[in-house]
């Protein structure tokens, strides 16, 4: 009887865990569908900033896709994810290339897409552990399946961190250049995109020689892609 009771308890526990997992997945999918049409009021990273700074609110102001300079949209794609229009949220080609470079002796570099970064900023925490990366990849594939590319880029540009406590392109544009996001020039856009890998260290307002080097590279990539590269989004 005792063994039978343990088996019954085990089956009940497994059933509960299964339904809990199914419920969590349904809730996440429902939230992602909602955020397709409703602008997120905050993000996990912005909540983290508040917690780390005694409740201080980050600087952020939402702007719609058409209120963002086309140069800014092109700059982040040129800098962060040039295959953005074509992949399914995770760029397996970039991952394969990064792993190949690593095996050849180069440093291990990230291969996160704009969609992955959007999912991470919205729902997850910073870090490089395998659990977070796995969740990030799963969320990114789901987001890519449920949102148009235009929406992904719009949300990303509104929640990305461009400096300590500065989230979204409108707040960054106003802070560093004194203009709205729709008026950003190609070089200003490249300066903002250049700091995205590490906005806690790199500065768009006072670029270091390394940041200026990145700005020049991004401008070259923008020229190669062409202003019409994202026209089909």
The confidence score (pLDDT) of residue 159 equals: 97
Q: Give the pTM.
A: 0.88
Q: How far apart are the first and last CA of the chain?
A: 63
Question: For every one of its 233 residues, what pLDDT tens digit does the chain have, with 9 covering 90 and above?
Answer: 466 666 777 777 778 777 877 777 888 999 999 999 999 999 999 999 999 999 999 999 999 999 999 999 999 999 999 999 999 999 887 666 656 655 555 544 456 899 999 999 999 988 777 788 888 999 999 999 999 999 999 999 999 999 999 999 999 999 999 999 999 999 999 999 999 999 999 999 999 999 999 999 999 999 999 999 999 88
> 135-155: buried (b, 16+ CB within 10 Å) or exposed (e) per residue?
bbbebbbbbbeebebebbbbb
- CA distances for 229 relative to 26, 70, 73, 77, angstroms: 35, 10, 10, 10
φ/ψ of 165, rounded to 5, equals 75, 5
The confidence score (pLDDT) of residue 16 equals: 77
């Amino acid at each position: 009887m005792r063994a039978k009771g343990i088996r019954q308890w085990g089956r009940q526990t497994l059933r509960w865990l299964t339904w809990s997992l199914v419920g969590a997945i349904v809730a996440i999918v429902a939230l992602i569908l909602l955020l397709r049409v409703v602008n997120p009021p905050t993000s996990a990273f912005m909540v983290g900033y508040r917690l780390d700074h005694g409740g201080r609110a980050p600087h952020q102001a939402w702007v719609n896709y058409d209120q963002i300079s086309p140069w800014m949209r092109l700059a982040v794609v040129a800098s962060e994810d040039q295959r953005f229009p074509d992949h399914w949220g995770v760029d397996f080609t970039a991952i394969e290339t990064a792993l190949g470079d690593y095996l050849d002796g180069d440093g291990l570099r990230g291969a996160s897409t704009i969609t992955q970064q959007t999912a991470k900023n919205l729902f997850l925490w910073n870090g490089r552990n395998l659990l977070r990366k796995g969740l990030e990849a799963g969320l990114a594939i789901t987001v890519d399946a449920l949102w148009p590319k235009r929406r992904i880029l719009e949300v990303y540009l509104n929640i990305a961190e461009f400096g300590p406590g500065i989230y979204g392109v409108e707040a960054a544009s106003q802070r560093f250049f004194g203009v709205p996001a729709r008026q950003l020039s190609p070089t200003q856009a490249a300066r903002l995109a250049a700091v995205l890998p590490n906005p806690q260290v790199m500065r768009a307002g006072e670029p270091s020689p390394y940041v200026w080097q990145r700005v020049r590279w991004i401008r070259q990539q923008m020229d190669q892609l062409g202003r019409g590269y994202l026209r089909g989004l």
